[in-house]
Amino acid sequence: MPGPLISTQGLTKRYPGGVTALDGLTVEIGEGVIGLVGANGAGKSTLIKILLGLLQQTEGKATVLDMDAATQGSKIRELVGYMPEHDCLPPDISATEFVSHMARVSGLPAGAARERTADVLRHVGLYEERYRQIGGYSTGMKQRVKLAQALVHDPRILFLDEPTNGLDPAGRDEMLGLIERIGRDFGITTIVASHLLGEIERIAGWLIAIDAGKLLRTAPLASFTEQTGQLVVETEDDSAPLAERLVGRGFGARAFGRNVIIDLATVSGGEYAVYDAVRDDAVALGLPLVRIEHRRHQLEDLFRTDVPGGAA
């Protein structure tokens, strides 16, 4: 089993103004499509820039492909690709000219740069238009050029910062499809920073959630949405009286607005005993029931403070 591609230990970045962007982040990142999720300002971009060797951390250590990001940035940057969040393309040259120039700057010989530019632009779906000036491109086409320049030197790791920014729904779908292909078919480990959980859910196999510069959780995507061992009872009115009655029966139950959440581990006599108890108590209270279901974790729970299992 190979070691992680990227690892950080106690990574901290404090900006001169006193803002702490990363706060003792320790995480290991393996292969695949990895979602780096967090609200705006959570520290996603700062983490990427430190891993690229563009920013120096205040404390801690970051290793990329077994190289120290603080001292071997130049070597790391030969082997990784980076697509920034913001616009970053000159308008007055063609995509072909720009991407092949960037391939050269990445260290590819002229011939290889030309060949790979043609290949990569085709892979991202730019055909005849690649000879036109970038200034006339749509947002979707510009995003493809941004992706192409990050991919042209065949990096081992690809960092994409909010790659669907500014795209319409169709453009988002296409971009996500491309990223999925890069991770799955091209075999390039891709780290996608995003604040849009729905998108990450579609493409990532592994998730790293950070909040206020701290690691919230790192785990396979599936484990973020697995069953919680809890039952949700939705009612049509305030559910507090129902929760009270269930607690009286010795169940672990809490009311959240019109929902009651029951911890199945606290129930003796099996699940059916709960259903019977809920029915009986609801009838006694005259409280209409809407549904009873097993509660699953949702990705959004990570960043919510008002549900169990969310950020504290």
Partner 1 sequence: MSASPEAASSTIYDIGYRHYDGPRLGRRAAVTSVIGGGLRAVFGLGRSGRSKIIPWGAVILAALPAFVAIAVRVLAGEVLEVTTYDRYLWDVGGLLPIFLAAQAPELVVNDIRHRVLPLYFSRPMSRADYVGAKLSAMSLGLLMITLLPVLLLFLGRVLAADDVVAAFGDEAGSLPGIVGSGVLHAIVLAFIGITVSSLAGRRAYAAGAILGIFLVGGVVSAVFAATGGALADIAPFTNPLAILDGTREWLFGGSIAESPVQASDAPLWTYGAATALITLLCMAILVVRYRRITT
Instruction: Summarize as ranges the residues that interact with partner 1 (CB under 8 A).
Output: 31-32, 49, 52, 54-55, 74-75, 77-82, 84, 86-93, 97, 101-102, 104-109, 112, 116, 119, 122-123, 125, 149, 153-154, 181, 183-187
Q: Is 122 or 304 the residue whose CB approaches partner 1 more closely? A: 122
Q: Is 131 or 275 the residue whose CB approaches partner 1 more closely? A: 131
Q: How far is the CB of 267 from partner 1 (least distance, A)?
A: 43
The CA distance from 210 to 272, in Å, is 39
Cα–Cα distance list, 173 to 22, 97, 164, 203 (Å): 31, 27, 9, 11
Cβ burial 184-211 (10 Å sphere, 16+ → b, else e): eeeebbbbbbbbebebbbbbbbbbbbbb
Q: Is 79 or 240 the residue whose CB approaches partner 1 more closely? A: 79
Q: How far is the CB of 98 from partner 1 (least distance, A)?
A: 9
How many CA atoms are closer than 13 Å to the CA of 82, on its beta-carbon side? 19
Q: Is 23 or 161 the residue whose CB approaches partner 1 more closely? A: 161
- Spatial contact of 285 and 277, defined as CB atoms under 8 Å apart: no
Q: How far is the CB of 77 from partner 1 (least distance, A)?
A: 5
Q: How far is the CB of 44 from partner 1 (least distance, A)?
A: 15
> Which amino acid is residue 103, in one-letter code?
A
Q: Is 35 or 81 the residue whose CB approaches partner 1 more closely? A: 81
Identify the burial level of 249 via C-beta atoms within 10 angstroms of its C-beta, where 0-12 means exposed, 13-18 middle and 19 or more buried: middle
Q: Phi and psi dihedrals of 258, rounded to 5?
A: -95, 5
The CA distance from 19 to 194, in Å, is 21
Cross-strand pairs, 7: 28, 63
Q: How far is the CB of 85 from partner 1 (least distance, A)?
A: 10
Q: Is 104 or 254 the residue whose CB approaches partner 1 more closely? A: 104
Residue 254 has which token pair? 């809490």
- Spatial contact of 288 and 236, defined as CB atoms under 8 Å apart: yes
Residue 24 has which token pair? 């003792």
Q: Is 93 or 247 the residue whose CB approaches partner 1 more closely? A: 93
Residue 71 has which token pair? 């001292």
DSSP state, 137? -
Q: Is 124 or 262 the residue whose CB approaches partner 1 more closely? A: 124
